[in-house]
Amino acid sequence: MTATISNFDYGPITPIAAYVMATTGAALGLRCTTRSLRRPHHRARWLALGAVSFGCGIWAMHFIAMVGFDVEGAAIRYDRDQTLLSLVVVIVCVAAGMFLVGYRGRSPLTLMTAGIITGNGVVTMHGLGMNAIKIDGSLHYDGRIVIFSFVFTIVIATAALWAAVSLHALWTSIGASLIMGVAVTGMHYIGMTALSIQLTGRTTIDESTSNLGFLMVMLAGPLAVLLIATTIVMFDPDMLIGDGDQDGAAPTPRGSDSAHPVR
């Protein structure tokens, strides 16, 4: 029996909250990358913080959106280990992409390589997160939508990495984060349209089988990381400094195609 699926079981609350998480992660990733370029002696630390923040933002976006995911007539459960593995994968892949552009610059080859690595990480995270679902039925995907979502994700990841090493003014990075939030959240919901579920039987649903409690526990850690990272960035002296007012011109990352200093 083909199940009736809803991605908006709580109305607009979950997509809005998911968008906020994606935007927050993107904003922190951009601002931390700016710090890393202005302060090369602490570059690795800032890139690591940015990667963890961006990765947690993407992961939190996915699983907050999944709070609104419901299958009529079936109980949804999640495998804890696969859920945690999806978080590790996205952070590692985002870190690989950010460190690559942070140290090698924004040449087309570097951006393309970093974008593919990061995009693959996001797609793998989504796949692991969906594979973690335990339901009395089988999940099936429309291959055309999956391919489109995969390509779209790589484009988003490449654009995000380009913005990270190219947009350094506060307001331009905020604007880029708002756009990236739409793109990343949209990517999730586009990918979810590929899903169909064949139920093997009808399940009695009660509070004990609800996925809400499990997801809230899983989200607590990444949300705490985003809060800590936001505090670090907000209280950094550079937060409201204009173009190069404090630290002057930072060196351009090796391999960058930009001749002008980072501002």
Report which residue type is found at 153.
T
Q: Structural domain tally of the chain?
A: 1
213 located within any domain: yes
Question: Which residue, 188, 237, 257, 225, is CA-closest to 31?
Answer: 237
Structural domain containing residue 161: 11-200+208-234
161 located within any domain: yes
258 located within any domain: no
The pLDDT tens digits for 79-120 are: 999 999 999 999 999 999 999 999 998 899 999 999 999 999
253 located within any domain: no
Beta-carbon contacts of residue 261 (< 8 Å; ≥ 6 apart): 244, 249, 250, 251, 252
Please give the pLDDT value at position 235: 86
Residues 250-255, mean pLDDT to the nearest whole number? 51
The pLDDT tens digits for 51-89 are: 999 999 999 999 999 999 998 888 888 999 999 999 999
245 located within any domain: no
6 located within any domain: no
256 located within any domain: no
218 located within any domain: yes
